[in-house]
Amino acid sequence: MLHRKTHATRRRVLAAALALPVLASVAACGDGGDDDGSGSGKAVELSVFWWGAEERASLTEKALALYTERHPNVTFKKTWQANQGYFDKLATLTAGGNAPDLFQIDDNYLAEYATRNVTLDLNPYRSDGELDVSKFPESLYQYGVVDGELAGVAMGENTQGLVFDKTLLDRHGLPAPTTGMGWEDHIAWAERVSKTAKVPGTQDPSADYKAFWVWLRQQGKDLYKGKQLGFTEQDVTRWFELWKGARDRGATPPPDVIHEGNVTDISKQLVVTGKAATSWVWANQMPELKKNTDDELGVVAYPGDPSGQWARASMYLSVFRGSPHRDEAVDVINFLVNDPDVAQVLGTDRGLPSNMEVRRKLADAVDDPAMKQSIRVEDDLADKFGPAPSVPPAGHSDVKKELLKAAEEVQYGRQQPAQAAAMYFAAAKSAVGQG
């Protein structure tokens, strides 16, 4: 599956043609047509850039070392850093024509980089069978398509997860939340937890775009409709009013603690610091959460109809369109997403393996109870997921930031829901270039 072809293919012709606009600015890197590693055995060094903590760096380096073990002529120049500042650095590198051959990206920026012709269209490789996504859920691979081009390959599948402190609930004889519980029912449950356990029942997710997005889909709407917003100012007002009501009933923490949950990293989420009985996170973050508490944790879908959730690409690997080693870079992606030995190395750090066969083998082999929970909840939801939305348009990261700002205006009582909703809607429209 991983052997590269030595003859010219339709895929190479297309890839080279697509690369011409970018290659004009990166001529020093080569003309892109000289395929150094297409079976010639010539030494190739691929630059790879990703974000994450030290553990992710260690796991990624082990996976890349496994590739080099099987392809000794290919080595890697590895660079990683924390999430903060990652995309600033990537933007600087691409603007100067010095982008890494392979880079990690997420759905906040995939459309932006694709529409700027930074990412290589991987469809020709898929058509030629050199990039195999046949064992991915179709909606997962489609979540990397931007304007008809496959701009990135999902490194893993993820979905939204409501994580709760099972030990706390059991101690007070309280029931656990369940998948399918309505939003009002969830708030009533959280109010009961607050009164009985003397711990706020739920983190307030009004600033969390993940929760807002699921809630919108359950109303028959979406965060985006094409390259425009898929919701109205009135929708935002209803969302803010829902959570103002929850705060007024004592179902959530006070504003300063809510803010802490809004801005902290995963290791300090309120469900593990004991400041709330639930946190709104990604399902694959269960292992990292569990490292930071002695309590037993559980995870279910977000409230409401679970079809509002979908098989989301946790993050992608993309190839720089101007890379002189495009074929090798694609081959590395193919290896990372389809090799079962790689899955044993990476685990669920970037989400569940996209390849369903590989995922099943991993599920049988893992010993970590929290990782098993992550796998189980997504498997349980697999037949309940709705269709994936399109990849968010350019400006998505600002849409998220503006929601946080507007929601906190309401959380702190500085604005009423309708005022903050108007402010947010105007800012969100501006972020996506909607007139």
| Structure tokens belonging to residue 381 | 């939801």
Distance (Å, rounded) from C-alpha 111 to C-alpha 117? Answer: 10
Distance (Å, rounded) from C-alpha 272 to C-alpha 279? Answer: 9
Lowest mean pLDDT among 158-162, 183-187, 297-301, 371-375: 371-375
Structure confidence at residue 83 (pLDDT):
82
Using 50, 70 and 90 to split pLDDT, how confident is the model at 41?
confident
Q: Which residue has the higher pLDDT, 435 or 174?
A: 174
Using 50, 70 and 90 to split pLDDT, how confident is the model at 40?
low
Structure confidence at residue 305 (pLDDT):
97
Distance (Å, rounded) from C-alpha 305 to C-alpha 385? Answer: 9
Question: 151 with 110: CB under 8 angstroms?
Answer: yes
Q: Write the CB contacts of 312 (distance below 8 Å, at least 6 apart in sequence).
A: 107, 140, 143, 157, 158, 159, 388
| Structure tokens belonging to residue 261 | 């949950």
Phi, psi of 187 (to 5 degrees): -65, -40
Place of tokens 């179902």: 251
Structure confidence at residue 377 (pLDDT):
87
What's the pLDDT tens digit per position in 59-115?
A: 999 999 999 999 999 999 999 998 889 999 999 999 988 899 999 999 989 999 999
SS (H, E, C) 396-422: HHHHHHHHHHHHHHHHCCCCCHHHHHH
User: How crowded is residue 56: how many other Cβ atoms within 10 Å of its Cβ?
Assistant: 16
Question: 135 with 357: CB under 8 angstroms?
Answer: yes
Question: 106 with 317: CB under 8 angstroms?
Answer: no
The continuous run of DSSP H or E covering 431 comes out as helix 417-431
| Structure tokens belonging to residue 252 | 């959530």
Q: Which residue has the higher pLDDT, 299 or 370?
A: 299
Structure confidence at residue 370 (pLDDT):
86
Please state the pTM of the whole predicted model. Answer: 0.82
Q: What domains can be seen in the chain, in order of their start residue? A: 10-156+315-378 (3.40.190.10), 160-309+395-431 (3.40.190.10)
Structure confidence at residue 306 (pLDDT):
95
In 3D space, the residue among 74, 65, 72, 71 whose CA is nearest the CA of residue 3 turns out to be 71
Name beta bridge partners: 161: 281
Q: Is the model's pLDDT at 7 over the cut of 70?
A: no
Distance (Å, rounded) from C-alpha 348 to C-alpha 284? Answer: 6
Half-sphere exposure of 206 (CA within 13 A, CB side): 32
Chain mean pLDDT for the chain: 89
Residues for the chain: how many in total?
435
Question: 280 with 264: CB under 8 angstroms?
Answer: no
What's the pLDDT tens digit per position in 270-292?
A: 999 999 999 999 988 888 899 99
Q: Is the model's pLDDT at 20 over the cut of 70?
A: no
Helix, strand, or coil (residue 186)? helix
